[in-house]
Structure 1
Amino acid sequence: MSAPTGTGTGWVSERFGVRLDGDGVTELVRLGLRRNPKRAHLLVSTVLGKHIPTDPVRVRGAADRLADLVVELIGAEKSAAATVLGFAETATGLGHCVADRMGAACYLHSTRRRADGVSVTATFEEGHSHATTHLIEPTDDALFAPDSPDTDVPLVLVDDEISTGATALEAIAALHAQYPRRSYVAAALVDMRDAAQQQQCEAEADRLGLSVTFVALAHGSIGLPSGFTEQVCALAAPELNPVGPVPGSVTIVRAPWPTGVPDGGRHGFLRADTASFEEATAAVTAAVRERLDPAVAVVVVGHEEFMYQPLCVAEHLAQDGFTVRYQTSTRSPAFVLDEPGYPLRRGFEFPAPEGDTTAKRYLYNAVLDPTDPAGSQVVFVCDEPAGTDDLYRAGGLVDVLTRAGHNVVVAVVDTPSQQSLRTAREAR
């Protein structure tokens, strides 16, 4: 059953008077906090697999329902011809699942990772985000460009949440300047725009001369009381990196990956890549499986925007009979509170493993049962740029997880470069 309108429940509502309104919204998100003057509330998804360890069946199911809304809107023929763009960092896996369900011709996600030697096609900004700049890095512009500006096949943009619509319109404006087309679809798990914000989106689309349609699994709004942001920012910093009575173990798996197969959507994923991707992911899972205790629950953790492949690993392990949940680390700091009903019960802070150790990264919960914090083994799946010594050093992600008592299996997947994928595609 859908939650009734106006059910702001949980510690955040009780402590600050924040209200969530909208039929079905509270089935998809829970209220969290972040000490950020730009935006102090955090809608923590129950189906995304980001902050909360989530059953992979639930993750895939929500994405499938969202994809079905898009297909219902534009039709099966246009869905098969469409390009889908997922937003980093939270919606890269969601977008890939949507594209997969649609049978879309191409999937691509934006990225926050800057790398030498990678060509950037376009950029756009996200105002309320902790890391604001999105980069678009396809192997070839032709993957992203429509056949002509008059094509009626829309670009489908996927995000976990539409808060104001500004990010979607900013992305559309930036992309339309380079790759004009007639129509766009913005799809999200929840749409939290009020009437004025919806009118602003319509006015901006009219100004650009475009058709922009929004679809979501649930529509609602959030009521923030006066002084809420100041109160949240005044909270004491949460205690992170819990330490268990007995440290856990570390096992490292180096997982080979074909150089001509994309490991996700950062440089573009074609429908024709699906079979080879599935075969390579099954091989990664097999390498991980033999290092696990089948009697102990597993939390599969992806690395930031590297979301889809770890989800597929989690799905394979579940099919093999493991009790599995799935989530990823994040760039976004959030407020942690060990309080029943609050979605972020514990948290880990660690340096970014890609080389800038001054940049902090985060992981939340990482356990099935909050009352048994060491009761899950963790499988951390990352791409090669994240598999550095900083991952294992004192204070790194593996170190803080093992000090909390988790046995950790690290699977570092060889990463095809933009150039190697480009070369493979040109040879086809």
Structure 2
Amino acid sequence: MTRAGLEPWATRELGIELQHSDSAAGHLVPELVEPGLRRNPRRAHLLVSTVLGKHLPTEPSVVLGAGDRLGELVLAALGIDTTTRQRPEVDALVLGFAETATGLGHCVAARIGARCYLHSTRRDVPGAGTFAGFEEGHSHATSHLLQPTTASLFAGTAPLVLVDDEISTGATAVDAIRALHAQHPRSRYVVASLVDMRTADHRLTCELAAAELGTEIDYVSLATGRAVLPDGLIERVIALPDPALNPVGTVRGATARVKVAWPAAVPDGGRHGFLHSDTPAFERAVAEAADALMERIDPASPLIVVGHEELMYLPLRLAAALADRGVATRFQTTTRSPAYVLDEPGYPLRRGFAFVAPESDDSAGRYLYNAHWPGSPSPDDSPADARPQILMVVDTPADTARLHGEGGLLDVLTAAGSDVLLAVVPSTDPVLLRESREAAHR
């Protein structure tokens, strides 16, 4: 059943079933993910998470809670006490997969007290240098780069935890482990995900890969299950009518702008490595930014905080801080992945926006789904004063003419009648971050 208690549309009309097998955390697969669609000749189904805050506007406490519970499973797998909330630093490394799991990976790293968190990226940042890379076969954007400030952040033999929102075959995690194991062999890896949908054959392939590498790879998830896909699904989905994107409201919304101060020596996320020792300064910066944002939003109106692709954890934490200050808040982010939008009860992607990539060196399209308050039966027909505020959080490389111009995200959102407050955070400069860390250790 979906969040609204309906049989999923994709189950009823196309025969896609998401079956539950087991859970070490008391969750059911159909509660964690709903079946969506994408018109892709390699894979036509999409697992839409109800707890990730990507496609669906989600309470920030739910997103953080799912990351916490996954982190506790990782601690148990590593043989570490799970009852302590404020953890001392643990000699473990965490890698989150771009773009979907950059925030989830950071949540896991924070819960376990990992010495360093890093997420892969599709943005090749000048001055960063690339430590390693790997490919993701079924993804819309397949290449992953690892760009820590120094390769030494991921050196050593400490256990490495790899975090993704879902495991469908395990191939992406194994490919990443191969790439990293070739540089710094380890005896222990843990692959953590919200749902693990591998078949028995997939699990065997993963076991053989671990044996070939001479290492141990454990898998933990909030729930395990499998996706049952009917024959001819790809052809049926490709044959569906073109989706209706970029709804237009009767009155165009307005845009306002606020700069969010952020310390240059504090990473805004895990793109270039986030150390456990960065946590106190990060917490202070989030609190100060949330206080500044409270001066620009209407605390009596519901708010959707929208992050920009890989920039997930900082917007999530801002959303949580605003919720703690009494604002009814939901969180989600934009994405590179095109999905099929259908305004039908029981289907998770009821509304969609397509827009040009804001970064000037990228020509690929970008997408945002739903972006309306949960429970609203017809968001584009609701009166303007009943629509939620949207707080869009981007970093400086995304604050371009393409973001603001025709066909950009601000254009398509305001055309639909949404009022948008744009918050711009200074992007982490890997060179300055590296120099500040080196100076701190002199």
2:245 to 240, 243, 251: 240
**CA positional deviation for 1:242:** 0.4
Structure 2 contact 89–276 (Cα < 8 Å) conserved: no
Match of 1:259 in 2: 264
1:28 alignment counterpart: 32
Which letter does structure 2 place at the counterpart of 1:11?
Answer: W
Deviations 1:394-415 (A, max 9, x none): 1110111111111100001011
User: Number of paired residues?
Assistant: 418
Asked if 1:186 corresponds to 2:191, the answer is: yes
Q: Contact between 1:257 and 1:416, CA under 8 Å: does it hold in 2?
A: no
What residue is the counterpart of 2:430 in the other structure? 418
Structure 1 residue 115: deviation in Å? 2.9
AA paired with 1:407? D
Which of 270, 281, 291 in structure 2 is aligned with 1:276? 281
Counting only pairs closer than 5 Å after superposition, residues 210-225 of structure 1 correspond to structure 2 as 210-225=215-230
Q: Name the structure 1 match of 2:408.
A: 396
Distance 1:274 1:247 in 2: 40
Distance 1:387 1:353 in 2: 7
Native 8 Å contact 2:128 2:272 kept in 1:
no
What is residue 149 of structure 2 aligned with on the other side?
139
Give the match's secondary structure for 2:123.
Answer: coil
Residue pairs, 1:156-235, within 5 angstroms? 156-235=161-240
- Letter paired with 2:411: D
> Secondary structure of the equivalent of 2:90?
helix
SS of the aligned residue for 1:178 comes to coil
SS at match of 1:427: helix
Q: 1: distance between equivalents of 2:398 and 2:284?
A: 23
Aligned residue identity for 1:301: V
1:11 to 9, 12, 15: 9
In the aligned structure 2, how far is the partner of 1:291 from the partner of 1:280? 17
* Unmatched 5+ stretches in structure 2: 22-27, 82-87
Is the counterpart of residue 60 in structure 1 residue 70 in structure 2?
no
* Alpha-carbon distance between aligned partners in 1 of 2:361 and 2:232, rounded to the nearest angstrom: 35
Report the Cα offset of residue 294 of structure 1.
Answer: 1.6
RMSD (Å), alpha carbons: 1.6
Residue 73 of structure 1: how far off its partner (Å): 1.2
Kindly state the Cα deviation for residue 8 of structure 1 after the two structures are TM-superposed. Answer: 11
Post-superposition Cα deviations, 1:13-41, rounded to whole Å, max 9, x if no partner, equal 11111111114101100000000111110
Partners of 1:18 and 1:381 lie apart in 2 by 35
Report the Cα offset of residue 204 of structure 1. 1.1
- Cα distance in 1 for residues equivalent to 2:126 and 2:430: 11
Q: Percent identity?
A: 58
Give 2:98's aligned residue: 88
Which aligned pairs between 1:244-393 and structure 2 lie closer than 5 A?
244-356=249-361, 358-369=363-374, 370-373=376-379, 375-393=387-405
Give SS of 2:114's match: coil
Quote how far apart the aligned CAs of 1:250 are: 0.6
Q: Does 1:119 align with 2:102?
A: no
Matched, 1:109 2:119: yes
Structure 2 counterpart of 1:287, which letter?
Answer: A
Q: Match for 1:220: what amino acid?
A: G
The whole-number CA distance in structure 2 between the counterparts of 1:357 and 1:68 is: 38
Secondary structure of residue in 1 paired with 2:57: coil
User: Structure 2: how far apart are the matches of 1:280 and 1:44?
Assistant: 31
Q: Which amino acid aligns with 2:125?
A: A
- Counterpart of 1:93 in 2: which secondary structure? helix
Task: Please identify, of 109-118 and 62-71, the stretch whose mean Cα deviation from structure 2 is larger.
Answer: 109-118
Per-residue CA shift, 1:46-90, capped at 9, x if unaligned?
A: 000000000011001111111001111113389811010000000
Map Cα deviations across residues 80-105 of structure 1 (whole Å, 9 max, x no partner): 11010000000000000001010111
